[in-house]
Structures are given as C-alpha cells and as structure tokens.
Structure 1
C-alpha cells in the first residue's frame, strides 16, 4: 500500500487508478488499508521537497462526500468495495479530470463563501448527508457568480440532526420519482448531442426533477426534466437527475464550463464531434 501511494505521488496517477481502482484494491487487505493515514503523513512531510509550491490551482472543485461515506459501516473489505456512493463519486471525479481543467477535491469542513471564491465551478455528487449551513454557504457562493453542478442524489439528510431535508430553494426544483430505465436525453438547443442515460453502480438510472422556477435544459423522451438550470444572483445551479457515463459527464462539464468562459489550458480536438478527447 505504501509503495502504491508513493508511486502515484511521484509518477502521477494512471488511468487504472481512476477507472479500475476496485481491482487495484483487490491486492490489499483491511490491515494494509490501515496504513493509509501514516503514508499520508509521510507524503505531507516530504512534499515540500519533491512537490514544491505553488502547484496547479484547480478551477473546478469536487466536494468529497465524507459525511455520506462515514455513515456506511461495511462488515468487511469486500463490502467496502461495493460502496455505491464512492463508486459513483469516482465516476464524476474522473469525468471532471477528463475535461482537462484542473480539479481539486474539497471537504465540507472547508466550505465557506470566501473559500469557494477561488473555484468558478463546484461539483457535488452523492452528498446525501450534508452539514448544517451548507445550503446558505452555497447560496452565497452562487449569488456571487459561482456555478454549482449537483446530482439529484444529494441533499437527503441533515448530518447533525439526522432529519430528512429537501433541495435548497435556490435549486429551483424538487425531486420526483426514480427514472426506471436508460433513455435518450435530448438537450435544449442541442448544446450537446443526444446522450443515452446510463446506470449508477446502485442500479438506478437517476431521478426525475420537478422544476419550480428552473429552466429545463435536457429532457427524457416523455418531456420530463433530466437536467435543469436555475439562476441565482450572478451564478447558476445545474441539477442533473439522469445518470451519465464518465465520458458524457465530462462532455456535459466541458459544455457548462465553456459557457462560463472556463476552458482547459491545452485543448485537444476529438476525432469525431461529440466524442471525448483526452490524453494520458
């Protein structure tokens, strides 16, 4: 485990770390996993020597669903690897990385309107449990010009009181019924080619959205919303109900970022329009 993390830090993470991490973890036991905090301390101690600052600053922040993952207590290592929320979070994280725009992972305890100013775009995926006050912080961030991209499987439970909650009012939408099958999603004004809704690791195709002021940007064949956008102050919230594969998440994020004037420093042209272009 120690050599695995040191190799990733010194030489960079390969695609296998993103797309095939369950098989990578197959090589390690629970005992090996317990060494991670110590390896983290080693790396942080030596980082000033082999990773001098300033480093690349992210333009996209991805909120790590710590509170949600903490609430899940697996009985063994095999069960831990089946954790749906972590698998789906990694799908979105990989999609963000493949935009070519620098990405940082942030924690709930770091969130404040001031802290988020440095990130034009914030992604929230699978944050079922949220810290009290998160909605207020996000509203300030968006009102000041920030862009929030959030999945519909977020904002279910207040992490402190353990009470059920709904989407904040500035989302401009409510949760509807579960999407029961993969269907073609049609985008308004063809901002993207029509995409096939994917399936999450939990076996769900997403959740229908009920707009309450938000604009429909993408719809299912029956016309019900799969993606809505709501303006709040100088910023906006994009709420995605349908599940998408990594490639399509990346295409969607690229489109949203481009609309906000955020682009990768190095642009790579795809072989075919509407497909994902990337290097590793």
Structure 2
C-alpha cells in the first residue's frame, strides 16, 4: 500500500479548533486545562486572525499568539498554526479593492464575510507573501507548533473567480498552454456561433450572456484555470513556510471543494490532506431523512472515501460536534446522544488518524453563532463533553489501528475533467451523479468496501500499479476518455482485472469536443463494443430495463444500443422501446481479465446485481454478517484486520460474528450474535 502523503501518528489522536482571539485571555488557561482533561492533544488556531499579526499596513505584532503558544506549550498541548489569509482585513480591502473577487458581471464582493479575495491579484499576493513570511519566520521555531494549515477551506464559499486580475491571469494561463490563438481557437471550437478570437485581450472568463450559456470547451478550461490558481496560491505559502520550518513540522490544508484538483495540490505542495466532516449536512440537504434507504449521515462516508483517495491515512481538521448553522442558513439539529462518537468512528474507520472537533466552545459573536461546539455558550458541563471523554477512553484502546490502512478490493474511478465537464453538460452530469450515488449506496448496503481511484495527470500520474491493487474497477460514464487513459485501463484488464463501464463513455476528447468517430471511442477496443444508437430515456419510457440471465436489471436515464465486436459476448438485452431485444450488456475478455459495457445508467439495484453476479459483493460474509443498516469498514496491516461496524440507526441492531474476535472497545472475546446499541460501534480484531 502506497502511504505517501499520509499523516504519520503513533496512535489515533484527538484535537479541537480554538479561537483565542474570540475570548477573554483569563479563559485560556481553564480552557486548555479542560482540553487536556478530555483527551485533547492538538489544537488548531489563527486561521482568521490576520489583524492580530498586522493590525495596520506594515505594522506587525506577535505578542498575542506568543502568549497563547507559551501557555499551550506549558500544558503539553501541540498546535497546528494557520496562515490567516482566508479573511483579509478591512484596512486592506478598503485601500486595495483590486484584491476582491467579483461576480460574473464584475460586481465586487465586499468586506464583511470571508473568502472575499481572489487568488490572482498581484497586490493581494504581495500582502499574503509578506504576512506568511513574517509569521513563519517568527513562529516556526516555537516548540508547541507541530504543523501548519494553509489558509482555510480553499474554494469554499465560492469556487469561481471573475475579478479583473482573474481575467488577466486566465489569458496568461491560456497563452502558456496553447501558445497561439490558432491553437486556442481550434481547441475551443470557436468557429461555432462566430466566437473566434483574434487577440488575447478579447478572451474573458464567464460573463453574462444570452440564456446564461457559454462555450462548453472554454468553460471546462476555465475550471482547470480556477484549480491552477488555487494550487499556485497554496504553493506560494507552502514554499515560504518551507524556508523556515524544521523537518518535523508538516504542512496541510483542510477541506475538499469544487474546481480544485486536491490530488494535484497535495502532491505538489502538501504533506497530506485534512478534511472537514459534517455528517449532519445530510439533514440539511437531503429532502426526506426518513425515506427508506436514505443513508443520511452515513453519506458522509462518500467524502471520507474521497479524502482517503488523496491521503491513504488523513486527518479531520473539523469534526462536527454540535448543532450546525449560521444565522442566515444551514439549520441543523443537534447530534443525538451517541452520534458525535459515531461520526468520530466513521472518520477513523475510513482512514483518519487525527480527528479535531469543531469547535471548543460555541461562538458568542458573528455569523456562526449557531455552529455549536463541544461547549455551549454557558461553558458549563454538557453531554457532548461527557461523550468526548468516552471517545478519549476508546481511542486509548486503539493505538494499534494507527499503523493500518483501509482495505478494499473495489475501486471506483473518478477524474476532475469529467466532474467539471458534467457541471454544464446536462446529458452527462446528471447521469454521472445518479450512477455515482447508486454505486456508493450499493457498496454501502452490501458491505463491499470501496475506494475512489482518481486518475491523475499532474506531477504524479496514475500508474498500472495504482490500479492493480483492485480486483474490480468501476468507471460508469467516462465521457472524456483519452487514448492514454484507455491504454492504461486496457493493461489493467489484460493483467487480470475486471472493469465495468457504462453509457455515454468515450465520446468526448480532453477539451469536451465530440470527434467524428464511432462511440464509445477509445473504450471500444477494451470493451469489445460499438454503440449503434443512443437515446435519453424519456418520461414515457422510464420503466426501461434489460434482462441478464433471466433477471431484470434496471436501465435508467440514458441507453446506448450496442453491437459486440470480435469475440465479445452479449450478456443482456433491452426490453421495451424501439430497440427491444438489442444488446444492453457486453463482456469482452482481454488477456486474463474481463471488461463489461452496460448501455445504461446504474441504479442502486443494478449496481448491487453487478457486484453479486461478478462475485464482489459482501466480501467479509465469512467473518461477519450484518444488516444493511450498519456500515462495515476494514483497516488492516500485514498481520491483523480491524473490522469497524457502525450503527447509524436509532435502535439497536444484531450482527453475527462468524469467527472468534477481540472486541477492542469492550476488551471481550466475542463470537456469534452480538447486539450493537443505537448509534453504537464495535471494533473487532481478527488475527
């Protein structure tokens, strides 16, 4: 297992986010003492505190955080220090409005929120560089500091940037990439609707247009540019800190947000990624929390899988501990008793070795007065603090888990080009979202652990070795599929892997254009198939399905009508519509492996059928049987498996342990039927 870009801790470790600038200094010592009492070993500070370092332009002061760091060190607490560049001060944005981000129509975002700046203003980058240099030079030697967080949640609040500085930087980016206007015009298909550019300064990022439509190829390139800008901004700060920090201090950042290649960012300038996990967003965004089959807070595992694809073992910089919400949006209920502990174990099970709660005490001021922390406004003992003590006791029993990795034989392929292309493409995007959710739900409900495998093209390209650790790869709708990627997938199948692909594969090139070639493009040779016709499944045809070995399999959203090529074989045919009886599923044997092409979207039931028929479903059924309501995750090393079972239900569940196992949390040796309380967890050690 490649553990590069992973956090390195000897045991699972608890932390908390703290804002000393929000509280009277007389509270600091009591807060730190109580943190230690509750098992907190690391705190994160300073990500929004620019004015504490530079209260006026070119006037620097370090006394405030010097005092706090000295106190933290005296208590034995380690500190992750943040660059406070997510909230430029009022004196800066008022005097230099060019540092501000803008809407598509050019209207500037003003002071009063956070993340109102852009990444390409030369003025802003000058102030950022100077500030980071000052605080890194001053604070890197402090013995309390173990690491640095860059900014806060890059591309949070907005992931689009339309300031004058961004338009100018976009032109430079395009010049560097395409060299000539002729090459740019060809790649962007500008002959359509007479969009041809004759000078570089004619080119802009998205601006208001008729019908709010814009060139889809330029739109895709725009998203790549946004990612490039954020990574450059991150790297600027990392390079400065690296001049001063000792070797044992790490650099990370938190969150995974849109229009940002977090894999490239981590590979190019970070030691590992940290994620901000708020499972209760399920109750804020999902329309019907009580709907049967709705995974609710369990859906946070989707994001944890994504974090693990960047760093095999990672950190949680913000773990939800209380009710959520600003005064303007995001109303969320309080975690029920036991849920904070459950969500902590959800993160640990998926590969997090450092888990830091947001936040120590609920803020009494500002927009986030309803984002509750471990302490309430009153600062009196409460049930969440009592639950934290239980988690601390649990973690003391799990030191051996820190050296393990998440175990999965199924890899779900993703890539940023297709994610970003699908945002504007209403044929591609909704289909991709539907199948992504279906495969995640199917893997969860059949207890089939799954990794995300991001196809990387940056400084560390994806290799055959990266793919070969998985027995099954699923790549549902690779609309953009390059020849290079297709060759890599073919080699994976040839050496014994199993690959599943779906409709709308391979018909676009890297710029989102549709070349004049048979579908599914470069996937044709892998899957042994040609698409002879295709259609959206209309409202009158929404019961579309196929038959595979006399078993009905749903075929929703979009249908590719197939023709096998060479020795490929038809496994299923469509029922209904004008293509009744036409091939729907084709399998092709290449070398030692097999590639499947399904000419439809994947429903949850369809994904479950694929997992079952191909022999990948329920891989741990000989060790443990459990109901669909529970999540199963496995972390392992060369000699042991650690099986996590998490109960997200408000009632107890029963599992059947087939082998003798050590329950690390209770200290008991167990086998047979075991009850797990509501929102409960067990961690089984299997030798």
TM-score normalised by length of structure 2:
0.31
Q: Highest CA radius of gyration, 1 or 2?
A: 2
What residue in structure 2 maps to residue 175 of structure 1? 531
Cα distance, 1:199 vs structure 2 = 2.4
- For the residues of structure 1 that align with 2:300 and 2:431, how far apart are their CA atoms? 15
- Equivalent residue number for residue 5 of structure 1: 277
**Which structure's relative contact order is higher, taking Cα pairs within 8 Å and 6+ residues apart?**
1
**Distance apart, 1:252 and its partner CA:** 1.8
Q: Which moved more, 1:153-162 or 1:115-124?
A: 153-162
**Contact 2:527 2:595 (8 Å CA) reproduced:** yes
Shift of 1:68: 1.4
Structure 2 CA distance for aligned equivalents of residues 153 and 236 of structure 1: 20
Whether 2:412 is the aligned partner of 1:62: answer: yes
Pick aligned residue for 2:442 from 95, 108, 115: 95
CA distance in 2, matches of 1:98, 1:48: 25
Give the 5 Å matches for 1:248-267: 248-258=606-616, 263-266=618-621
Task: Indicate conservation of the 8 Å contact 2:414/2:455, yes or no.
Answer: yes
**How far did 1:18 drift?**
6.8
Distance in 1 (CA, whole Å) between partners of 2:455 and 2:590 is 21
The C-alpha deviation readout for 1:114-159, integer Å capped at 9, x for no partner, is 1111000000012211244011101111000000011122212221
Is 2:510 aligned against 1:230? no
Contact 1:139 1:170 in 2 (8 A): yes
Select 2:564's aligned residue among 211, 234, 250: 211
Query: What's 2:548 paired with?
Result: 187
1:140-151 to structure 2, matched below 5 A, reads 140-151=491-502
Decide whether aligned partners of structure 1 residues 130 and 7 sit closer, same or farther in structure 2, where only a CA change above 3 A counts: same
Q: Could you say if the C-alpha distance between residues 143 and 187 of structure 1 is closer, same or farther in structure 2, counting changes exceeding 3 Å?
A: same
Query: What do you get for the CA RMSD once the two structures are aligned?
Result: 3.8
Give the match's secondary structure for 1:89.
helix
Q: Which runs of 5+ in 2 are unaligned?
A: 1-155, 157-254, 256-274, 281-293, 302-323, 331-346, 356-400, 631-687
CA contact (8 A) 1:99 1:254 kept: no
Q: Distance in 1 between matches of 2:436 and 2:595?
A: 19
Counterpart mapping for 1:29-44 below 5 A: none
1:197 aligns with 2:469: no
Q: State the 1:176 CA deviation.
A: 2.5
Deviation for aligned residue 1:83 = 4.4
Q: 3-state DSSP class of the match of 1:238?
A: strand
**Cα displacement (A) at 1:170:** 2.6
| 8 Å Cα contact 1:65/1:125 also seen in 2 | no
Pairing 1:105–2:452 present: yes
Indicate conservation of the 8 Å contact 2:573/2:584, yes or no: yes
Q: CA deviation at 1:245?
A: 2.2
1:114 and 2:465 correspond: yes
State the secondary structure of the residue aligned to 1:220.
strand
Tell me the equivalent position of 2:629: 279
Q: Contact (CA 8 Å) 1:117, 1:146: kept in 2 or not?
A: yes
- Specify the SS of the correspondent of 1:129: coil
Tell me the CA shift for residue 52 of structure 1.
2.5
Q: 1:168-215: CA deviations, max 9, x gaps? A: 313110113225533342223x4xxx2253423xxx3x2111111310
Cα shift at 1:101: 1.9
Q: Is the 8 A contact 1:132 1:160 kept in 2?
A: no
